[in-house]
Structure 1
């Protein structure tokens, strides 16, 4: 393994930890802030954190086509994906949402192979199968029957995962061409702009701001900072290794989210859920080793 690829995989691991931690933090505040409000504030704070890095970037090489494509990916990544994921947390526990979101690696592999960005691999196909079985085990048919409305959260979380997989595959072209700092700032800014009218129309902002307690604001601020750091790591990693390798480390998300969810949110954990997480993580490990 080359030193640069190894560094990229370490960065990807940081992204996985960030996903798990922000999942639990979002679960803690989403009912008070609302899905759109949380998405807007989270990425508005992240954008402010990224501005100093953007100032160091070179913008002269950007064509109109590249700017448009990066902006569109940003709206998908930060408005559509995050909105769907935050919405899912209104119906399902943080750990469960993170496990469904952890299907991003298998979806990323499938899309990358379909677009001929990566070669086919029997071991990767086997790993994908293990991931699918693991997610099915972790969700559990009995749990769905016990909580009929959980399917709404499951569908929203899967929609977020599919959106993220498409972005993972397409971001690489632009991060290799323009660098992580430029892509991070340019993709996040239009998403924040798009979210603002939806926030005012559907969730009664900004009047809701005055009703939020200080601990809620503290959690929102931390999710924003973590999102900025996580996306910088993600775009840098995508510039230095394959999309499926990076996405494989998203499997850390459900592990971190479940651990923190049990500790901080008093969420339950079952042997079935642990078995599902183990299958997902094993499948992704095999996929990472497969070439």
Structure 2
């Protein structure tokens, strides 16, 4: 059993990835309505990375890392942020924030399948039921007429699924990779390198850049909240949890994220929640429950 202080840290970290990340779909949807997606994501992550290093300097935390750790943070930054998040932000131009969160709720299913393929991990009978329900839920979600009929919305949802594969592989990679032992510093490097690669993507796709003076107050506040809470607080918590609990446990944030995203999207952006979406959500989340119901909580060693 983890020590009381460690237990509290784990609980707070799960709160961050459950609740804070549930609101980032709304914030990204608001910001991407005015800003190009890769530019938006690069601003968020580079700013967060710089702030993290400034805080580390102030509190006397060393940001020195080895060449191997540097390489691994670049890989993780690409898998999680450059591709895994940047393309999701692009998809939010065409897909409702609630639908996006609901599709990503199938993340444990993807993690489980990749663990089976890459690590040879056995799948329990309960997990097979979960995988079956997960695929049914995804089908019900993407087969809705309003999704199929809207331009680029089906493509956006397909790209979100590809991003889920990137996140799943990143979760397995980080669980075993040699990374900075300080989770705050680890997050800073991933944010910085992930953001720099997003700048390259923004330039490669010819996005139009603009100064903050041309942004609306809603966009500015969305970016500020994304940087401080969605990036620094939640992503640091995410990296911490990947080292102390299993990837499947970390992916259970998808129980709560879509519920918060659906409610916020409906309440603030007037996004539609119909019966088929509700049924898809229930089936998807039930599948996720079956996938994780037999998992045992095994804290990982922090130091490497």
User: TM over 0.5, yes or no?
Assistant: yes
Q: 1:53 to 1:75 in 2, by over 3 A?
A: farther
Partner of 1:112: 115
Partner of 1:75: 78
1:255 and 2:259 are equivalent in the alignment: yes
Q: 1:115 to 1:5 in 2, by over 3 A?
A: farther
Report SS of the residue matched to 2:85: helix
Q: 1:2 to 1:137 in 2, by over 3 A?
A: farther
1:153 and 2:166 are equivalent in the alignment: no
Query: Shift of residue 283 of structure 1?
Result: 1.8
1:130 and 2:133 are equivalent in the alignment: yes
- Matched length: 289
2:31–2:218 contact (8 Å) kept in structure 1: no
- Separation of aligned partners in 1, 2:61 and 2:78: 21
Following superposition of structure 1 onto structure 2, how do residues 74-113 of structure 1 map, counting pairs within 5 Å? 74-113=77-116
2:23–2:261 contact (8 Å) kept in structure 1: yes
Report SS of the residue matched to 2:33: helix
1:181 and 2:184 are equivalent in the alignment: yes
1:12–1:247 contact (8 Å) kept in structure 2: no
- Separation of aligned partners in 1, 2:21 and 2:187: 16
Q: 1:282 to 1:200 in 2, by over 3 A?
A: same
Following superposition of structure 1 onto structure 2, how do residues 18-57 of structure 1 map, counting pairs within 5 Å? 18-52=20-54, 54-55=56-57, 57=61
1:229 and 2:210 are equivalent in the alignment: no
> RMSD of aligned C-alpha atoms?
2.4
Report SS of the residue matched to 1:78: helix
Query: Shift of residue 39 of structure 1?
Result: 0.4
Task: Looking at secondary structure, tell me which structure has more helix per residue.
Answer: 1
- Separation of aligned partners in 2, 1:124 and 1:9: 25
- Separation of aligned partners in 1, 2:96 and 2:47: 25
> Structure 1 residues 176-185 or 106-115, which shifts more?
176-185
Partner of 1:139: 142
Question: Which runs of 5 or more structure 2 residues have no equivalent in the other structure?
Answer: 296-304
Partner of 2:283: 279
Q: 1:7 to 1:285 in 2, by over 3 A?
A: farther
Query: Shift of residue 52 of structure 1?
Result: 4.8
1:35–1:87 contact (8 Å) kept in structure 2: yes
Q: Normalized against structure 2, the TM-score is what?
A: 0.85
- Separation of aligned partners in 1, 2:42 and 2:83: 11
Query: Shift of residue 107 of structure 1?
Result: 0.9
- Separation of aligned partners in 2, 1:200 and 1:38: 12
1:268 and 2:268 are equivalent in the alignment: no
Report SS of the residue matched to 2:147: helix
Q: Normalized against structure 1, the TM-score is what?
A: 0.89
> Structure 1 residues 130-139 or 3-12, which shifts more?
3-12
Partner of 1:14: 16
Partner of 1:194: 197
Question: Which runs of 5 or more structure 1 residues have no equivalent in the other structure?
Answer: none
> Structure 1 residues 255-264 or 31-40, which shifts more?
31-40
Query: Shift of residue 59 of structure 1?
Result: 5.1
- Separation of aligned partners in 1, 2:45 and 2:19: 18
